[in-house]
Structure 1
């Protein structure tokens, strides 16, 4: 049973849905997929080899995460060549941008609530 939002449904404002964790999206929240989306949002497109190195993933593990994100329409995968060398790039979709923004908003609200309720050190 999934406790987060479906990747195809934008996360609701966590302040209006009870606890901020209700705004987390299971597809986006997984740490490697969150890393992929965050890196992809920083540029027009990113080479898969860079993601593998930056996130310290095996080719198979990265491939699986990319497949999950592509199936959820959060990224597009482009295959081509740079000179004679085959290359693969990913690009974050608008839906991916929206899902990433909603995830970050939910995390910020969770942090805000935690910091405002944390006992003060003496």
Structure 2
């Protein structure tokens, strides 16, 4: 990559999708979050969140943690270090684009 390259070339296609961007933006501010909290915050269905989280996990940006609280199964999400870096780089590219 050269320094004269247009900022759009630094946008991450995995991060750029609106739902995935929203998931990463929310998780960037927390250590980890329950599935239901992310779903409600991002305002998507269970199936949409599950599909988008799987894409983020496949890219190495999200860790999906499964466990139980009592006898009830629970799912939590946590950004990986790579996910935090990718999100920050994507936001920086957007800011550069918006700033002209």
- Same fold per TM (> 0.5)? yes
Q: Separation in 1 of the partners of 2:93 and 2:68? A: 38
Tell me how large the CA RMSD over aligned residues is: 1.5
The reply on whether 1:25 has 2:17 as its aligned counterpart is no
Q: 1:83 Cα deviation (Å)?
A: 2.8
Question: What pairs up with 1:24-63 in 2 under 5 angstroms?
Answer: 24-63=11-50
Structure 2 stretches lacking a partner, 5+ long: none
The reply on whether 1:74 has 2:58 as its aligned counterpart is no
Q: RCO higher in 1 or 2 (8 Å CA, sep ≥ 6)?
A: 2
* Rg larger in structure: 1
Q: Separation in 1 of the partners of 2:68 and 2:31? A: 17
The reply on whether 1:86 has 2:70 as its aligned counterpart is no
Aligned length: 100
Mark the CA change 1:95 to 1:38 in structure 2 (over 3 Å): closer, same or farther: same
Q: 1:93 Cα deviation (Å)?
A: 0.3
Q: Separation in 2 of the partners of 1:38 and 1:20? A: 20
